[in-house]
Amino acid sequence: MVSSVKAVKGAVVFDLASQPLRDLNQFLHGDLQGIKGVTVENPDGAHSIAVGMNAAVQVDINGHAGYYAAGMNQHASVVVHGNAGPGCAENMMSGRVEVKGFASGGAGASAHGGLLVIQGDAGLRCGISLKGGNIVVGGDVGSFSAFMAQAGTMVICGDAGDGLGDSLYEAVLYVRGEVKSLGADARFEPMGDTDIATVKQLLADAGLSHKASEFKRIASAKTLYHWNADSKQTY
Amino acid sequence: MCGIVGLLLKNKSMRPRLGELMVPMLIGMTERGPDSSGMAVFGEPVMNSHRKVSLYCGDAGFNWRHLEGALLEFLGDAQFEVKANHCIVTSTAKPDEVRAWVGRHHPSVHVLSVGRSIDLYKDVGLPSEVAARYAFKNFSGSHLVGHTRMATESAVTPQNAHPYTAGEDWCLVHNGSLANPNSIRRMLEKRGIRFESDCDTEGACRYLHWRLDMGETLETALEHAFEDFDGFFTLLMGTEDKLALVRDPFACKPAVVAETDDYVAIASEFHSLAHLPGVKHANIFEPKPSEVYSWSVQ
- Cross-chain residue pair B251–A83, CB shorter than 8 Å: no
Q: Which residues of A touch B273 (CB under 8 A)?
A: 45
- Please check the confidence at residue B217 and state whether its pLDDT lies above 50: yes
Q: How far apart are CA A42 and CA A81, in angstroms?
A: 11
B254 and A85 in contact by Cβ < 8 A? yes
Q: What is the reported pLDDT for A9?
A: 53
Rama region for A96: left / alpha / beta (φ>0; ψ in -120 to 50; rest): beta
A17 occurs within a structural domain? no
Digit-coded pLDDT (tens) for B131-156: 999 999 999 999 999 999 999 888 99
**Whether residue B163 has a cis bond before it, omega within 30° of 0:** yes
Q: Is A124 close to B251, i.e. CB distance below 8 A? A: yes
Supply the pLDDT for residue A41.
Answer: 98
Task: Tell me whether A102 touches chain B (CB under 8 Å).
Answer: yes
The reply to whether domains B2-45+119-296 and B52-116 share a CATH topology is no
Residue boundaries of the structural domains of chain B: 2-45+119-296, 52-116
- Asked if the Cβ–Cβ distance from A123 to B285 is below 8 Å, we say no
Q: Which of A85, A105, A124 sits opposite B270 (nearest CB)?
A: A85
Q: Is residue A37 part of a domain?
A: no
Q: Name the residue range of residue A124's domain.
A: 43-223
Among B250, B270, B272, beta carbon nearest to A83: B270
The pLDDT value given to residue A230? 78
Calculate the dihedral angle through the C-alpha atoms of B220, B223, B224, B226, rounding to the nearest 10 degrees.
Answer: 160
Cβ of B251 within 8 Å of Cβ of A44? The answer is no
A44–B271 C-beta distance less than 8 A: yes
Beta bridge partners of B40: B120, B145
Residue in chain A nearest B31 by alpha carbon: A47
Partners of residue A104 in chain B, C-beta under 8 Å? 254, 256, 286
- Confidence (pLDDT) at B1: 83
- C-alpha distances in angstroms, A137 versus A131, A158, A218? 17, 8, 15
Could you read off the pLDDT of B97-117 as tens digits, one per residue?
Answer: 999 999 999 999 999 999 999
- CATH value at residue A73: 2.160.20.60
For residue B174, pLDDT over 50 is answered with yes
CATH number of B2-45+119-296: 3.60.20.10
What's the mean pLDDT when you consider all of chain B?
96
Would you tell me how many other CB atoms lie within 10 Å of the CB of residue B294?
Answer: 16
Tell me if B161 sits within 8 A of B155, measured CB to CB.
no
Distance from CA of B223 to the nearest CA of A (A): 19
Model confidence pLDDT, tens digit, residues B190-208: 999 999 998 999 999 999 9
Domain assignment of residue A117, yes or no: yes
What's the pLDDT at A66? 98
Angle of helix B64-75 relative to helix B95-105, nearest 10 degrees?
A: 130
Half-sphere exposure of B254 (CA within 13 A, CB side): 25
Number of domains in chain A: 1
Residue of A nearest to B271 (CA): A45
Q: In this predicted structure, what is the pLDDT of residue A228?
A: 77
Give the pLDDT confidence score for residue A1 in this predicted structure: 41
Write down the pLDDT at residue A3: 47
Instruction: Inform me whether the pLDDT recorded for A4 exceeds 90.
Output: no
- Rounded to a whole number of angstroms, the distance from the CA of A45 to the nearest CA of chain B is 4
Q: Is the dihedral of CA A111, A123, B233, B42 positive or negative?
A: negative
pLDDT, average across residues A1-22: 76
Query: For domain B52-116, which CATH number applies: 3.40.1350, 3.30.70, 3.40.50, 3.40.190?
Result: 3.30.70
Residues above pLDDT 70, as percent of chain A: 94
Interchain contact, B269 vs A85, CB within 8 Å: yes
| Chain B contact for A77 (CB, 8 A cutoff) | no
pLDDT at A86 over 80: yes
Instruction: Name the catalytic one among B2, B57, B171, B199.
Output: B2
pLDDT of residue A231: 72
Give all strands of the β-sheet with B164-165 in edge-to-edge order.
B164-165, B170-178, B231-239, B242-247, B293-296
> How many angstroms separate the CA of residue A123 from the nearest CA in chain B?
8
Q: How far apart are CA A37 and CA A10, in angstroms?
A: 8
Active site residue B2: yes
